[in-house]
Each structure stands twice: as structure tokens, then as C-alpha cells.
Structure 1
């Protein structure tokens, strides 16, 4: 920023998003700012008046909105859960953002709608930048899967196997199977996975207490030494399902207000393949949403594998598999559909 303003280059067409401009006030006061747009961030009043007077456009943050709509980076678990231990979950950004989105006055308010849309666009931009050039594998599954169960442990081991082989794990960012996959990816060793699984089983679910569920997870995350190396997993949760808190084991969190956009981004970014663990209605919706672009893909276009885990679940409990096979018959889609029994088989299939 300082090099840009010092160069004397006109700032027309530039967008300064979510930045603290106070350290750059002197440089900006001398720059040609006609056509500059400042989105959110921190702009001292005197600087703001000066910029506007010289032709810049400033869109300030809304103090009633609990999130920064023009944020320039992904969330961390600490961004969303700050204040949890001292003031409880309702005080956190995560809980306050959900409550704000559900208020009667924001449901049909054009300004609130715009803020939500801008926020989601900014988060999406940050996520695409974070994932650029990485080999991303999506992992989907039900939110109700409890810590301490064998299926939860299997999902964690799947996440670890993928991350250990150099893949970046991308999940819906919520509890259950999603949390397990992010946990496994975060853990540096297989032994660390097993230790974490044992500790987390003390609080099986986020019901009835999000505080107990999240506080224990934050302690486990800290002991895993998260952040000491390259990012191994990301989560994409949504405030549309605000009753499902985000898990803390992601290296970065792209939380959206729009569930439709969130699901589309998750699927689009899983270019290295998609593993679907047992789930219910939400997971079924995601399966067919993933299937649609594969069904209509042009001839010769390489398609990522779509791997369903759980023979009985997907053929009898929730019989999605017969419909998928029918759709894939005689099409390239059929060649990338797989049904396996265990997460280990899914990992072996994706990792070759």
C-alpha cells in the first residue's frame, strides 16, 4: 500500500477492502484518489472526509452488523468463538451473526440483504485465493455423527489419510462427520488422531451445550499444534443452519449466510474428488448437486471421482445409489461413480 501511494500512480479503479488505512493516511493525503473505493476496514474520520472531498468513495462498516462484510481473509476458529470461555456461546461472533441474520428487521431489509451478499462474496474470494493451486478433496457427511462412535473415528482417519498424502480436505465445516474429517486432517500423526479421538469422546455432541463441545475441541486443537505447517483442511459452514456450530479443526473457515452459495462453492472447489459419508437429507441434496455438473459435462472433460461410503446406507437406508447408477448409465458420469464400504477404501481409491 505504501509503495503504491508513494509511486504517484492514480488510484482510480482500486478497491481497498477491509484494511486499516490509518498507517497510510499521510501517503493517501498526497495521492490522486479520484475513483478509489474503500470497502469497510478502518478509516479515521479526518482521513475519510479528506478522501471523499477529493473524489474517493467510502462504504463504512455497519456497527449493527456483527461481522465485517468487506473482510479480506477467512475466519479462524478464534474469530468465531472469541469470548466463549468468559461470556458463553451467545456472546461469540458466530452466535451473534446467526441471531442478526434471523432478526425480523433484517429479514427483508435491503441494506442487511446487501451486507450478507457482500460478506459472502468477500469470503468466497478469500477461499478461492486460499485454495488456489492445491489438490482439494471434499468430504461430506451428516452433522449428527457423535464423537466416540466408530463412524466418527473412521471419518477422522479418512481426513488424516488424505491430508497426509498431500491433499487438502474441504468439508461443510460443521459438527459430526465434517468435524471428524477436519480433525483427522489437522492431526500431524496417526497416533495424534487416536489421542484426540479419545479426549473428544468426553463430550459427544454439541447438544445440549455448545460451550462444552467447543471448549474441549479448542483445547484439543491447541495440543495438536495447529498452525505449525501448511494448511491441511478448510471448512465451509453456513449461518443458514445456525443451530449447527462450526467445528474448530479447520485451518481456515469460510462461513456463509447463503447455504446455496456455500454448497455450490464446496462442490466446485473439490476438484480432486468428493467422498460422501453416510448422512440424511442435507447430504442427499449435496450428492445430487454434485452429480448434476458431472452428468452434463462435455465429452472428454476429465471428471473428479464421486465416492459414496456405506453399502447398506446408500442402497437400502437411503437408496441413492440406484438412482445415481441409472443417471450414469452410458455417460462419463458412470465411470467416476464409486460405492465402497469403508473410508479406507475411499482413501485408497482417491490416492491411487
Structure 2
């Protein structure tokens, strides 16, 4: 145990830091949560210090389940290579699948290949193509790093994690919490049903405006991705 930190109870053993933070409250929080605040603060300091001189970067999201034999993996490699060749760093979640592909392309092109890893209940090591890795305990701290140091976002086909990052970015742009920046969806066949739902159901119900939908575009080629991000 590090001096000044609390001991972890047997009931908490095996839980992630997010689970401990969000667990139903009790009087124990009086003694535990203040130390968590310091840990959260340390993660912000670590991230800011490590990425402050990164330069222009693009955050890329996508499924950890994408296999190296899939065409989407090859597309991810091509995307990472193209962004690096355009002078952009890439920032991914540092995991396998589509994230690994993008990191691989950037690293092989001699670019800056960043991986923002996250503590998960199951082991997930940072992929071998990351040249600059950071490990976070808290998802929300990690999200801030993506948003602060990316000049645009690219979403490759993915699942819940990809949707989470995508809608977080769209919400922050919609509410004016961040400046408007490119949000590009790669793979028309995968993403168009989502955009059709947003237009035909969500917009039709008056729950977003037409201008909100202008904050995202869908493309089918790597050249289009790079052009949109650099526009």
C-alpha cells in the first residue's frame, strides 16, 4: 500500500476503480472517496503532462474485436499510415482489433502512435504498435484526453465503446462545450442505418435539430477520411 492511500477491502478486490467509485454509497465514502479524488487528480496530471507536446492528433475509435484477417483491419492500417503521412498523430484506445490496426499503420509510417489504455476486469494489454502509451483507471479521465488532444474524430465500425465515444463527442459539440471539429464515420454500409434512424426517428420527433446532424459525416474511402479531418 502506498503511504497515505486507503486499504482496499476484501469486498472491493477485483473491482475496477470505476466500479469502486460508482458503487452504492455508504458511510465508508467519508474515508474512501477523498483518496479517490487525489487519484483522479493524479491521472489528469499524468495525461496532461504526457500529451502536452503531442502536436495535432486524430482520435480513432473502432472495435477491439476486429480480426487481422478482416478487410477492416487492413483499412485501419491504411488509415493510420495516411494520417501519419499527413503529419498527424493518432490516438486510439491502445487495444487490439481496429485500434491495433490504426496504431500499426501510424507506427510503420514513422508517426506518433498513441494508445490510451484502460483498466478492465479482464486483461487487455496495450498493442505492440503503440509508441506512446498511457494507462487510465477511469473512463471519464481517458475521455478528456481524447477530446483535449484530438483535432478530429474518426469512428471505424465498432460496438458500445465506439458508440459511447461517438455520442459523447456529438453531445459536446451540440451543447457548445467544445469547438466544432470533424467527426467522420468510416464505412457507409455499417453507419448509414444509424444515420437513417437519427434522421427518420430522432430528428422527426424533434429531439435533435438538422444542424446537429451536420456535425457528422459518413465516408467510404481513406482519402475521404483524411480530407475531412484536415479540412
Q: Same fold (TM over 0.5)?
A: yes
Give the distance between the partners of 2:172 and 2:213, measured in 1 at CA.
13
SS at match of 2:184: strand
Call closer, same or farther: CA 1:320–1:236 in 2, change over 3 Å.
farther
Residue 15 of structure 2 corresponds to 102
Call closer, same or farther: CA 1:254–1:328 in 2, change over 3 Å.
farther
Of 197, 200, 218, the match for 1:339: 218
Cα RMSD between the aligned structures?
3.3
Residues 336-345 or 173-182, more deviating:
336-345
Of 258, 268, 284, the match for 2:148: 268
Residue 323 of structure 1 corresponds to 198
SS at match of 1:235: strand
Q: Check if 1:249 corresponds to 2:129.
A: yes
Of 70, 75, 79, the match for 1:149: 70
Give the distance between the partners of 1:124 and 1:321, measured in 2 at CA.
37
Residue 8 of structure 2 corresponds to none
Deviation at residue 182 of structure 1 after TM alignment: 0.9
Deviation at residue 135 of structure 1 after TM alignment: 1.4
Deviation at residue 146 of structure 1 after TM alignment: 1.2
Structure-1-length-normalised TM-score: 0.52
Contact 2:173 2:179 in 1 (8 A): no
Paired residues for 1:30-45 under 5 Å? none
**Structure 1: segments with no counterpart, 5+ residues:** 1-60, 66-98, 189-228
Q: Check if 1:183 corresponds to 2:104.
A: yes
Give the distance between the partners of 1:124 and 1:284, measured in 2 at CA.
23
Give the distance between the partners of 1:165 and 1:347, measured in 2 at CA.
8
**Structure 2: segments with no counterpart, 5+ residues:** 6-11, 21-28
Residue 48 of structure 2 corresponds to 125
Residue 280 of structure 1 corresponds to 159
Q: Check if 1:291 corresponds to 2:204.
A: no
Call closer, same or farther: CA 1:157–1:173 in 2, change over 3 Å.
same
Give the distance between the partners of 2:98 and 2:38, measured in 1 at CA.
31
Deviation at residue 260 of structure 1 after TM alignment: 1.9
Higher relative contact order (CA 8 A, sep 6+): 2
Contact 2:80 2:105 in 1 (8 A): yes
Deviation at residue 337 of structure 1 after TM alignment: 1.6
Give the distance between the partners of 1:118 and 1:351, measured in 2 at CA.
33
Of 146, 159, 163, the match for 2:84: 163
Q: How many residues align?
A: 209
Give the distance between the partners of 1:321 and 1:123, measured in 2 at CA.
40
In terms of Rg, which structure is larger?
1
Of 115, 119, 122, the match for 1:235: 115
Residue 2 of structure 2 corresponds to 62
Call closer, same or farther: CA 1:103–1:137 in 2, change over 3 Å.
closer
Q: Check if 1:259 corresponds to 2:136.
A: no
Give the distance between the partners of 2:214 and 2:117, measured in 1 at CA.
30
Residues 167-176 or 337-346, more deviating:
337-346
Contact 1:139 1:169 in 2 (8 A): yes
Deviation at residue 181 of structure 1 after TM alignment: 0.6
Residues 252-261 or 342-351, more deviating:
342-351
Contact 1:141 1:283 in 2 (8 A): yes
Residue 313 of structure 1 corresponds to 190
